[in-house]
Amino acid sequence: MMHNRWFHRPRLHSPAPGNTRRVEWLELFYDLIYVAAIIQLGNGLSNNPGLTGTLIFAGLFVPVWSAWTSFTFLSNRFIVDDFVHRLMVFGQMFAIGAMAVNVGGVWQGEPDGFALCYAIVRLFLVAMYTRMWRHGEGGAALARRNAIGFAVGASLWTISVFVPQPWSYLLWGAALMVDFAVPLNRRSRQVSLRHPPDVLHMAERYGLLTIIVLGESFVKVLSQGAADGWSADFALMGALALLITFSLWWLYFDDVAGSRIRPGELTPFVWVYSHLPLTLGVTAVGVAIKKAALMDPMAPGYGKYRWLLCGTLAVVLLSVAVLDKITERRVSDVDDRHRIIARVASAVAVLLLAAVGDFMTAALFVGLVTVICVAQVIIDLLMAPMADPHEAHHESPLLFGGAFSGDEEAAEENAQQGLRRVRDTSQFVRKGTPSELRSDLYFHLMEGTWRRLFVIVLTAYIFINLIFGALYLLDDADGIAGLVNLGPDGEPLPRRFADAFFFSVQTLSTIGYGAMSPMSDYANTLVTIQAVVGVAFTALTTGLVFAKAARPRASALFSRVLTIRQYDGKPTLIFRVGNARGNEVVEATMRLVAVTEEVSSDGTKMRRLRDLKLVRDNSPLFVLSWTVMHVIDEDSPLWGCDMESLEKTLVTLSASMIGFDPTYAQNVHARHLFHPEDIRWGHRFVDVLDTEHAHGLLIDYGKFHDTRSDPDVWPDLPYLEKPAFSRFVPGQQGPVSEEDADQHADDGGALDGASDSGRESVEDEEP
């Protein structure tokens, strides 16, 4: 729709499938001024990295973030882009720039310039909302409440300029409380329910803000390297520190940004305001990373720099834990609660590392912090190994319907083809499963590989000893006898974190070599707690290993193909199963089910499971091989199908076997899926049993899957017209012509290694 570029009426944006808002160029240009403001905040923190400087940084970051968020919500709710709106946005950007220039004055005890500039920023926002209220098309109630509420906050900021310190700071706090209360009060939330925001646009905006604050660490480290020159020590420490930035990027954009908000009245607001400590922490981590890169790798790191890095990193991890609590991954194998536990435990771990950093080198300290951050990425990959490229933050799946193919019918056809290509249930990806119904950790470890089990157990073992080793160092020097070593001159050497870590290993594993022992009440209390943890950890690990190792597994070998041919004058579907281990399986039972796609009379498409009756469905003693046969007669679901129709209707054939294994004294089971392309028409299986072998009965599993074409037993079935394309030749991709098939039969017609005897073993077992 055309509109006047000088002036047009603002319009309320109503998100809907196919009508989502994308980030506009004006918003991206607007973000540039916040880059300058955040850099100034980071410089102030870099020059004042202590507790007081960190608190001032946090106090200044809150109004800067609030101003950005308020403008983002306005751009999200209302559509306007004329000369008047751009003038107000540019005016607000000038005020933000002036506010950034006055950031340094706050650390020097001159906050009036910052407060006045921020008041102007808020007044521009009030003017924008007033215009939406008076001249907009829709959303008047929402715009009116925001305009009035933010005007009160701007007035308090203006008044604070004329109030002496420290009372002016109290007015700052009151103004921020008003700004936060405007969208959070009950009446505003009710209005928001009538005019919901565009969540896709919000996700993109907060993702861009996170990118901006993550870039702070790159700017700081690379600028320092360019100014002082690169050395081996700086390269080592800088690389470790920047790995933390990469991990935080991965953590946000592969976890937080890819999750959906759980239903709830307050959860969207919690999601938005949890980004305040998150972005604040990420910005401060960028400053701390620069300090970490400047540390001497072989000397202990400076205490205030350690606390700056670990304290702000803990804030980030706890913020992510809150976001994980109110969101859920659509494609995840494990309950979301385990991710929350991992975030909180890691936050505690990095704080302990800050406390005991004096007892280790800076390289070890930064390395351990980096390992904890990288572990968050590994945890995320283990819990959600599959990804949905179409899944964004909260959008309805309808938003992407047909968007990639350009044609809805083509998209549906592609989806159906993809569904038919992936028919094994082990290849299915579960999406949208409720978190509480997903796998718990025990199930995840039991179903996973041995490598997964050992990696998780080893990681947990090291993490537990890391925590307790740090806790032991919090005691005085006499807490653990033998922890302090003496130098050549008889003077006590500084305690080492490695010694405390290995003492924890001895305690957890109940080794106790006797060189170190607890002396103080604090140390004995920790030993008592760790002994309980060690017993529980050992019991759980032992139980998992034994349960996983003792699970019975059948060694049934299913033929990779099955045949349809005449047997005893009847069309018969045949496949075979072998006992590769050769042990006894008693009372083995076989079941064969055809999974077909059918369309009902009213046009409903669904998948049906149809049992196929077997000539014999049980074997009292399954030791060698078992040839399974299904006669295709009038009672068979396959009656009336030819090769072409079977390819269209048959999804898969599921063969399942269950029997009692005396070795395990438990039931064992095995399953195999056959697909339409696995059927070989007019073929017979090659004989694998040799009763005349010099050493007795021989079964050759090397030929177990081999078949040979046999034109003499080609089924002359009422439903098979025997067209030219229906002959199959081994080694060829797909059917071939009748002439080529006959030529192949004249040349031998057998697979490599196949027997020429023409005898097929159909006995269940040889005596």
According to DSSP H, which parts of 618-680 are helical? Answer: 643-649
Per-residue HEC secondary structure of 40-98 comes to HHHHHHHHCCCHHHHHHHHHHHHHHHHHHHHHHHHHHHEECCCHHHHHHHHHHHHHHHH
Question: What is the per-residue pLDDT across 675-730, written as a single tens digit (0 to 9) for each?
Answer: 888 888 888 888 877 766 666 677 777 888 888 887 665 544 444 433 333 333 33
CATH of domain 439-549: 1.10.287.70
The answer to whether 544 and 446 are in contact (CB under 8 A) is yes
pLDDT at position 486 is 60
pLDDT at position 492 is 66
Distance CA 646, CA 630 (A): 16
pLDDT at position 321 is 92
pLDDT at position 81 is 78
Residue type, 84: V
Q: Which residue stretches of the chain have pLDDT < 70?
A: 1-5, 7-8, 13, 15-19, 135-138, 258, 330-333, 384-440, 477, 485-493, 554, 691-696, 711-767
pLDDT at position 703 is 83
pLDDT at position 740 is 44
According to DSSP H, which parts of 136-231 are helical? Answer: 140-160, 167-184, 186-194, 199-228
Instruction: Give 486's DSSP letter.
Output: B
pLDDT at position 440 is 63
Q: Which of 719, 726, 639 is nearest to 681 (CA)?
A: 726
Question: What is the per-residue pLDDT across 263-283, written as a single tens digit (0 to 9) for each?
Answer: 777 788 888 889 999 999 999
In Å, what is the CA distance from 265 to each residue of 256, 262, 360? 19, 10, 47
The domain 556-746 having CATH identifier 1.10.510.10: the answer here is: no
pLDDT at position 183 is 81
Scored b (16 or more CB within 10 A) or e, 638-666 reads beebebeebeebbbbbbbebbbbbeeeee
Question: What is the per-residue pLDDT across 71-103, written as a single tens digit (0 to 9) for each?
Answer: 888 888 777 777 888 888 898 899 999 988 888
